[in-house]
Amino acid sequence: MAWNWQLEGWPHFEWQPPRLRLREQAFTENAAVAVGTMRHIGSEDREELVIELLSSNAISTSAIEGEILDRDSVQSSLRRQLGMSAANLRSRPAEAGIAEMMADLYRRPLSPISEQRLFEWHRMVMNGRRDLSQIGSYRSHDEPMQIVSGALGRERVHFEAPPSDRLAKEMGMFLEWLDRTSPGGPEPLPTLARAGIAHLWFESIHPFEDGNGRIGRVIAESILARAISTPTFSALSKTLLKHRKDYYARLEAASTTLLIDDWLSWFADRALEAQASADDLVGFLIEKTRFMDRLRGIINERQEKVLLRMLAEGPEGFEGGLSAGNYATITGAPPSTITRDLSDLVDKGALLRSGERKATRYRLNLATQSERPVATRLHPER
């Protein structure tokens, strides 16, 4: 079996732009709506939005690779990187490094992706690693760079990247294409097509010893962000984590062909899903302010503490809903007080109740969903 980089015509991918037309249109329209919605968010909520989206992507892009990071540490590192007030938490090198890369993406959304910037990102992502011979430079080992799974003796090769001695030429072509197809370049491409091709192309080259997935995803994030001059509306890695198995399968299928319509259609749908997820967070922050304003002065300190704790979990809230046990843990109140507090919050319209007895759970009564022209709802061309 030949890999895509071994095929005649590499690296000239082929696709049918009309198949992405409605998706590209939806992405542009959704971005315009999001920019307008941001005007209704105060400075504190805007700061919270930035930290929530960047930390979610940092944690998710690492989780795709099987690395679990501490959310509080990542957020604290991000706040320090962006000059915001931060809790004095000790972050591990991996958490500090991925936070630094996400902060760079946020601070410099319009900066081109150069070889030097890729090397900087690699040093950030590999922060603290002592097992790699090359950090901040392309791999140079003689043995093949392969993605392999399975037990010893029964390995399955999912992909083999170009040999190290071809990397300078391969990456030169890739970076020249990025520059040429940028919004201000001589051959600009629509955003979703450009981001999808860039991600696939970079993963096909696999230029580093490790960290290629995280850097490949941040390249796609950067392209999506540049199209709207801000990265605060993107949740791509969080969405790809939800589809992790399919994501790997799609990349593998696309690694043996230069005909990439299926890959681009799938990637575009995930980018639109990510955009909708970010929009939900923006809507949640707006509704959160209205929600607490409506209850101000009519709930007690215990109730306010619990509601704020639930709101801190984001649009999804507590997994499985709030229980009386959760309420006790947060407030330290006795059972009789908890029962009265929760019943009162339901009566005031702050919480919705479901289940009975020990299975009783409570969820925030928020209206966070908005009508958006999402491509998957438009039944785009397949």
| Residue 319 φ/ψ region, left for φ over 0, alpha for ψ in the -120 to 50 degree band, beta for the rest | beta
Cβ atoms of residues 53 and 295 within 8 Å: no
In sign, the C-alpha dihedral spanning 263, 173, 161, 98 is: negative
Rounded distance between C-alpha atoms, residue 142 and residue 378, angstroms: 49
21 in a labelled binding site: no
Q: Which residues face 147 on adjacent strands?
A: 159
Q: What are phi and psi of 251, to 5 degrees?
A: -60, -40
Is 260 annotated for ligand binding?
no
- The two tokens of residue 171 are 């990456």
Residues 6+ apart with CB under 8 A from 338: 324, 327, 328, 331
102-127 in b/e form (b: 16+ CB < 10 A) is bbbbbeebeeebeeebbeebbbbbbb
247 belongs to an annotated ligand binding site: yes
Catalytic entry in 12, 141, 206, 379: 206
| Strands in 64-201 per DSSP E | 146-149, 156-160
Residue 66 labeled ligand binder = no
297 is in an annotated binding site: no
Q: Is 206 an active-site residue? A: yes
Is 349 annotated for ligand binding? Answer: no
The answer to whether 179 is annotated as binding is no
How far is residue 314's CA from residue 141's CA, in Å, rounded to a whole number? Answer: 44
Contact 210, 132 (CB under 8 A): yes
214 is in an annotated binding site: yes
The pair of structure tokens assigned to 104 is: 């760079």
Rounded Cα gap, residues 312 and 314, in angstroms? 5
SS3 state at 364: strand
Question: Could you tell me where the DSSP H helices lie in 133-235?
Answer: 167-180, 191-205, 212-227
Length of the chain: 382
CA-CA-CA-CA dihedral for 61, 64, 66, 69, to nearest 10: 30
Sequence-ordered list of residues with C-beta below 8 angstroms from that of 6, at least 6 positions apart, any chain: none
Catalytic residue annotation: 206
Q: Which residues are annotated as a binding site for ATP?
A: 210-217, 247-248
- In the annotated binding site, the residues are 210-217, 247-248
